[in-house]
């Protein structure tokens, strides 16, 4: 019987298969080398990232004759707000924008209202870092101790340089003129998106996050600088005068649930401090029974469901506790909760059921009013929203007591 395939043909097929295997091997090596190069590029820190350590420019009272006026008014997106009220009744709101989303071109904008939020002076202050550096995750806090208003923000080279840095300026909080504000000062590595708290022992605690390598493989998200890698987690930082800062403790977050943390602190009682933070599985909490030096293991909070987003917690002048979060697995149903028994039980009221509402922050007025700020649909509606209500509205479930208005929608 004749062979169906000649020896010559067989040899040709073997050569062809060998060439294809060689080509496949070359392709695999090539792809692996690209992957390795990309990962090496990601983990190596850019020597230019030190420009994020330079103070930003601070501009006051932006108007149509100001430089970059269109940049600060014609925004493509905005969000992540914070709010505070001074003892004189001036409301201050801060958030960030720039670029088409969270990115290298971000800046911080500040608005103020002297009529309890009815009208607002837009772009009263702009915080603009050097090119290549972004300013983001601002928060605003009024210190009852020194009666100054503090605006905090983070600076990073490009999207995230593995170090970041918490900055602040401060003022008596009455005016937006330049001579009323301090020069920018960098106080710590990492990110602080939520307000400090004043303790009964007179210390001020700052909830700072050192992100760690939470997004391995994402090129624009650098791992921590070697000198701060050991501090990855929630850094509980103390001060008494905003001159000297001391690391009191670190709340370690398991890698399986670690996100950007966005931690907050609240003093429940003498020596008892509660922390809440954002994780991949929703809002988790930890408690310290020795004034912030040691912490219980993290666990999911009782108020369920929660989503992977920022929430807000606050001790009110009445001694009651306020908590605000998305009572959903997604960013909808923004809900306020009130506890009158040191966080053992809660009463609740939905303030906004719509999709795309997120990142609440709250200020309390001496008049008993509560001022909740949050964003909605950062790239489409671009709304920064303010809602007023009081404790009684939550206790009685009085939705008619909630009064909401748009502070800004980039139009």
Mean pLDDT, all residues of the chain: 89
User: Is there a contact between 288 and 267 (Cβ–Cβ < 8 Å)?
Assistant: no
List residues bridging with 85 in a β-sheet.
91
Residues 71 and 167 occupy one common structural domain: yes
User: Is there a contact between 160 and 118 (Cβ–Cβ < 8 Å)?
Assistant: no
Residues 94 and 243 occupy one common structural domain: yes
pLDDT of residue 383: 98
pLDDT of residue 46: 77
Where would I find the beta strands (DSSP E) of 303-382? 312-315, 321-326, 334-339, 347-352, 357-364, 370-376
CATH number at residue 397: 2.120.10.10
pLDDT of residue 22: 55
Residues 288 and 366 occupy one common structural domain: yes
Residues 9 and 66 occupy one common structural domain: no
Average pLDDT over residues 7-25: 50
Residues 265 and 117 occupy one common structural domain: yes
Residues 326 and 217 occupy one common structural domain: yes
pLDDT of residue 319: 96
Residues 16 and 89 occupy one common structural domain: no
CA 119 to chain centre: 26
User: Is there a contact between 371 and 360 (Cβ–Cβ < 8 Å)?
Assistant: no
Exposure string for 317-331, b = 16+ CB within 10 A, e = fewer = eeebbbbbbbbbeeb
pTM of the complete model: 0.89
CA distance 19 to 16: 5
Structural domain boundaries enclosing 33: 1-44
Checking if the pLDDT of 41 tops 80, the result is: no
Residues 83 and 99 occupy one common structural domain: yes
Q: Which of residues 88 and 214 earns the better pLDDT score?
A: 88
The percentage of residues in the chain with a pLDDT greater than 90, rounded to a whole number, is: 76
On the 0-12 / 13-18 / 19+ scale of CB atoms within 10 A, 269 is exposed
CA distance 285 to 302: 10
Backbone angles phi, psi at 208, to 5 degrees: -105, 140
Residues 161 and 270 occupy one common structural domain: yes
User: Is there a contact between 189 and 259 (Cβ–Cβ < 8 Å)?
Assistant: no
pLDDT tens by residue, 115-128:
999 999 999 999 99
Average pLDDT over residues 81-99: 95
pLDDT tens by residue, 249-283:
999 999 999 999 999 999 999 999 999 999 999 99
Residues 174 and 38 occupy one common structural domain: no
User: Is there a contact between 93 and 82 (Cβ–Cβ < 8 Å)?
Assistant: yes
Count up the domains in the chain and report the number. Answer: 2
Residues 236 and 333 occupy one common structural domain: yes
Cis omega (within 30 of 0) on the bond before 129? no
Residues 62 and 90 occupy one common structural domain: yes
Average pLDDT over residues 323-337: 97
CA distance 209 to 396: 37
């Amino acid at each position: 019987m004749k062979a169906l395939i000649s020896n010559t043909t067989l040899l040709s097929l073997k050569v062809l298969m060998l060439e294809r295997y060689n080509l496949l091997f070359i392709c695999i090596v090539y792809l692996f080398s690209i992957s390795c190069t990309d990962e090496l590029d990601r983990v190596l820190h850019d020597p230019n990232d030190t420009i994020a350590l330079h103070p930003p420019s601070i501009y006051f009272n932006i108007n149509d004759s100001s430089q970059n006026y269109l940049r600060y008014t014609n925004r493509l997106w905005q969000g992540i707000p914070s709010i505070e009220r001074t003892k004189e009744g001036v409301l201050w709101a801060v958030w960030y924008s720039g670029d088409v989303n969270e990115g290298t071109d971000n800046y911080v904008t500040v608005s103020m209202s002297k009529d309890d939020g009815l009208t607002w002076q837009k772009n009263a202050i702009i915080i603009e870092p050097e090119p290549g550096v972004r300013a983001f995750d601002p928060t605003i806090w009024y210190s009852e101790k020194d009666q100054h208003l503090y605006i905090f923000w983070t600076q990073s080279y490009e999207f995230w340089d593995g170090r970041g840095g918490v900055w602040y300026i401060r003022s008596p909080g009455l005016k937006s003129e330049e001579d009323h504000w301090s020069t920018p000062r960098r106080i710590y590595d990492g990110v602080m998106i939520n307000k400090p708290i004043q303790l009964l022992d007179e210390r001020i605690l700052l909830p700072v996050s050192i992100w760690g390598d939470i997004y391995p493989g994402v090129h624009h998200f650098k791992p921590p600088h070697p000198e701060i890698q050991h501090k990855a987690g929630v850094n509980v930082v103390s001060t008494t005068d905003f001159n000297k800062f001391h690391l009191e403790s670190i709340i370690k977050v398991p890698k399986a649930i670690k996100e950007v943390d966005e931690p907050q602190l609240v003093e429940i009682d003498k020596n008892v401090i509660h922390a809440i933070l954002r994780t991949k599985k929703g809002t988790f909490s930890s408690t310290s029974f020795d004034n912030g030096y040691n912490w219980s293991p993290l666990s999911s909070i009782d108020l369920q469901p929660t989503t992977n987003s920022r929430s807000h917690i606050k001790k009110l002048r009445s001694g009651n506790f306020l908590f605000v979060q998305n009572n959903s697995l997604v960013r909808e149903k923004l809900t306020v909760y009130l506890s009158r028994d040191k966080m053992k039980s809660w009463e609740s009221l939905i303030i906004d059921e719509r999709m795309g509402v997120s990142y609440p922050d709250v200020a309390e007025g001496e008049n008993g009013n509560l001022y909740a700020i949050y964003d909605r649909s950062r790239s489409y509606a671009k709304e920064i929203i303010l809602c007023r209500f009081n404790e009684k509205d939550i206790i009685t479930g009085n939705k008619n007591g909630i009064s909401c208005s748009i502070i800004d929608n980039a139009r």
